[in-house]
Copies of this chain bind each other. A is one copy, B any other.
């Protein structure tokens, strides 16, 4: 193989090199996941919001936007799309009428539970081919990546 430039694996010893490799890996997998997503299912952002609501209960649109690292208008669109599909419900905040509370409907909760396996089918299949150690690495890595995203 022609190697005009130093092998990048040597660059992962530095934070900057690791950042480069990680950025590529994350970008490539995100594109791959998007391609695998069935038409009938949810977008990456919609799925993440349902997931967050399942974890945290009701949240305001603003809190969801901050949590998912998108701007408020983007969250408006995501929540509106979910509401049109009957998966979430917007309620008035009891104390502050500027705010809203977003909550899963029964249908939304069901989708989170029952659709999760189906939506992750491709990735689940790939994961099944990994060793226990590799899966443990990814489990730990996922937590670290979430921490990075939130900082």
Q: Which residues of B contact A97 (CB under 8 A)?
A: none
Chain A residues in the interface with B (C-beta under 8 A): 1-5, 7-8, 11-12, 15-33, 35, 44-45, 47-48, 51, 54-58, 68-70, 104, 109, 112-113, 116-117, 119-120, 123-124, 126-130, 134-135, 137-146, 148-149, 151
Contact: B145 with A130, CB < 8 Å?
Answer: no
Q: Which residues of B contact A134 (CB under 8 A)?
A: 144
Q: Interface on chain A toward B: helix, strand, loop, or mixed SS? A: helix
Which of B120, B138, B144, B149 touches A16 (beta carbons < 8 Å)? B120
Q: Which residues of B contact A112 (CB under 8 A)?
A: 5
Contact: A135 with B18, CB < 8 Å?
Answer: yes
Instruction: Tell me the number of copies of this protein.
Output: 2
Which of B15, B21, B29, B104 touches A26 (beta carbons < 8 Å)? B29
CA distance A144 to B130 in the complex (A): 9
Known: A18-B139, A69-B35. A24 touches B47 (CB 8 A): yes
**Most chain B beta-carbon neighbours within 10 Å: one of A56, A68, A126:** A126
CA distance A130 to B70 in the complex (A): 24
Known: A15-B128, A19-B123, A23-B33. A109 touches B5 (CB 8 A): yes
